Amino acid sequence: MKRISRYLQQLRYLWYFLGFFALIELLNVFTGRVLNQYSIVPRDLSHIAFIFSSPFLHGSLSHFFSNITTLAVFALLVSQFAHKAGRSASKNALSFFTLTLLIIGISGLCVWLFARPAHHLGASGLLYGYFGYLVLAGWLQNRISLFLISIMVAVFYGTIVWGILPSNAYVSWESHLFGFLSGLSLAWFKRQHP
């Protein structure tokens, strides 16, 4: 019964998280995408604070839906890594959101520093951060369930790794690359500092 209650709590936090993405997308649609001005423009000091708003902004509905479905799966799986037995649901959620903010901050800062001049926006940097974290973290922790999650993510989603290569002028492959690297780095750091 406790396990079911824990999963229901995780799902509730996940719905809040994804609901926030959906709310921002609705506002952006009804304002003619005016919010997209709050995206990352590399090396422009007036846009550095938008590192934390850019993952919630999308160029179109298809861009939004292509990100949100995989993001939902990855967020649910990452929440399994954030869970620690005996810890309250709110503390487990805090661990998940801390990891999320770190991925957004690290990958966004790297995009701001090193990416080509353009407007960089969308949740794909976070998505790739989760992907990197999920692929490595299960190998580094001593829990068979987390190891199986890592294998499953590598097998079913491994082909997205090609997204870190430049392929389309309108796709921020830099967000993909730096998101992926930040996820890997945070998985390694967590193992060193449990």
The C-alpha angle with vertex 36 and arms to 75 and 161, in degrees rounded to 5, equals 40
Is residue 117 within 8 Å of 42, Cβ to Cβ?
yes
Asked if the model's pLDDT at residue 86 lies above 80, the reply is no
- pLDDT tens column, 133-164: 999 999 998 889 899 999 999 999 999 999 99
Q: Up-side HSE of residue 186: CA atoms within 13 Å toward CB?
A: 30
CA distance 113 to 163: 20
Q: Give 123 or 193, the one with higher predicted confidence.
A: 123
Q: What is the mean pLDDT of the chain?
A: 93
Is residue 78 within 8 Å of 133, Cβ to Cβ?
yes
What confidence score (pLDDT) does residue 174 get? Answer: 98
Average pLDDT over residues 30-52: 98
- Of the candidates 182, 194, 30, the one whose C-alpha atom is nearest the C-alpha of residue 113 is 182
Report pTM: 0.94
Residue 120's DSSP bridge partners are 40
What confidence score (pLDDT) does residue 194 get? Answer: 60
Q: What percent of the chain has pLDDT over 90?
A: 78
Asked if the model's pLDDT at residue 84 lies above 80, the reply is no
